[in-house]
Homo-oligomer: A and B are copies of this chain.
């Protein structure tokens, strides 16, 4: 499909450079944007430039933040002896939205994945070991994806962290809340039998 304007074509090009947005979708969005006022477009554009300029990585955990140290790391009410290791910033948001976690985080920036050429050196592992050595940690929680790559990374981290006197835990795995048993996959179901827990009222 030939676009009759170079400028539209460029906007489509830019928008479709985002993962998961194809040229057709981008064209639809761009033509919709053309109906907006110049001021609205300006606001749209500036949001991204400002974001890139202002957003920082927390120097302690790797979370995104408007400050040098993120709100979680600078909150003295949280347990700084408890570190939850996650792959990505979005995992922090997901865990935070549960409201159940009161410790701090450490963002790895991915998982070990030889297929994608990602080794331990590409991840934020050194600083985690520094924290284990220098800070007074009581527990490290592995909260990585329940995939082979996640398990590999868990195993690697476990090996590296075991010299330190630390409790090492990982998220429980089992049947998801709201799942009908017959639709749970067998691996998950198998694990949930092995790791069965004492029944609690109101749990």
Contacts and interface: CB of A to CB of B under 8 A. Distances in A.
Q: How many copies does the complex hold?
A: 2
Contacts of A42: 49
A38 interface: yes
Interface of A: 1-8, 10-11, 13-14, 17-21, 25, 27-34, 36, 38, 41-55, 63-66, 70-72, 89-90, 92-94, 96-97
Given A7-B51, A31-B64, A41-B52, 12 more contacts: A2-B96, A2-B97, A4-B70, A5-B55, A7-B54, A7-B55, A18-B32, A31-B89, A33-B48, A34-B52, A45-B45, A45-B49
A64 B4 contact: yes
A134 B47 CA distance: 48
Contact of A14 (B13, B21, B44): B44
A177 to B, nearest CB: 18
A63 B48 CA distance: 30
